[in-house]
Amino acid sequence: MSRRAFVLRGLALLLFVAFVTAPQLFAFVFEPLAANRAPAIYNQGSLLALTLSHLRTVALATLASTVLAVALGILVTRPWGQEFLPLSRAIVNIGQTFPPVAVLAIAVPLVGFGEKPAFIALFLYGLLPIFENTLTGLTGVSPQTLEAAKGMGLNARQRLLQVELPLALPVILAGIRLSVIISLGTATIGSTVAAKGLGEVIIAGLQSNNLAFVLQGGLVVALMAVLIHDGLGLAERMAARKPGRHGGEAA
């Protein structure tokens, strides 16, 4: 990353922190969008609390998606598990087959309103990119490398943990990054089922015809997406630079 890009990202982070912690300081920016003397800054709850709730739901859903998707990726790349590839693909494609709104509609009668249906929707939606990148990363490890590890006396479990997963890590991280970015935007619809998040700000703006609220919710989500995208991208590059590893994005 160039020095200029680093400075810009730093300024974006400072702007993000300043806005979610003290949004009233930016009221003058949004006042032209608030018609009929409506509030310029969202005043129906704490913007910081909603941001943290939004991030919490995305983080938990991504963690669960990562555990299942990586486990399935490992399973189907073992000689004894290759026959489960079609079934695994069918499982991870569920989230892409059914739109999140449909998943929410099905989940609410089962688990009620709140964070749970949003978690389920994001969990299912995040499986595919992580699974496919895990598959790409593990199958991309050269046979010569695996043969050399076997010649060194490593058993199958040791080869997986010490050779295959470390080499595949940059590609797996690329899938996680894509899943997180998708979930950050998708999580806004969770507010339609009473899940706490930045969707509340956007929905409140749409209901009251207050463009200032809509823009605030959208800007916070967009800034989070940019900052997290860059942070995970940096983690990928660091993983790829370590000796003996090769990386690349399959996302």
- For residue 38, being part of any structural domain is answered with no
Mean pLDDT, to the nearest integer, of 29-39?
84
Give the chain's domain count: 1
Query: Is the confidence at residue 247, as pLDDT, over 50?
Result: no
CATH value at residue 151: 1.10.3720.10
- For residue 34, being part of any structural domain is answered with no
Mean pLDDT, to the nearest integer, of 62-80?
94
- For residue 6, being part of any structural domain is answered with no
Query: Is the confidence at residue 92, as pLDDT, over 50?
Result: yes
pLDDT: which is higher, 8 or 28: 28
In the chain, % of residues over pLDDT 70? 95
What is the average pLDDT score of the chain?
Answer: 88
- For residue 4, being part of any structural domain is answered with no
| Whole-number pLDDT of residue 81 | 87
Mean pLDDT, to the nearest integer, of 31-47?
86
Could you give phi then psi for residue 155, rounded to 5 degrees?
-80, 180
Which tens digit of pLDDT belongs to each residue from 166-186? 999 999 999 999 999 999 988
- For residue 139, being part of any structural domain is answered with yes
* Domain coverage including residue 100: 50-199+222-241
**Residue 249 pLDDT grade (very low, low, confident, very high; cuts 50, 70, 90):** very low
- For residue 127, being part of any structural domain is answered with yes
- For residue 29, being part of any structural domain is answered with no
Q: With left for phi above 0 and alpha for psi between -120 and 50, is residue 46 left, alpha or beta?
A: beta
pLDDT: which is higher, 58 or 234: 58
Alpha helices by DSSP H, listed for the chain, are: 3-21, 27-30, 47-76, 85-92, 94-97, 100-111, 115-125, 127-139, 143-151, 156-159, 165-186, 199-207, 211-241
| Whole-number pLDDT of residue 1 | 58
Q: Among 220, 232, 225, 244, which Cα is nearest to 21's?
A: 220
User: Model's pTM, two decimal places?
Assistant: 0.87
Mean pLDDT, to the nearest integer, of 27-48?
87
- For the chain, how many residues are written? 251
- For residue 33, being part of any structural domain is answered with no
Contact between 182 and 129 under an 8 Å Cβ cutoff? The reply is yes
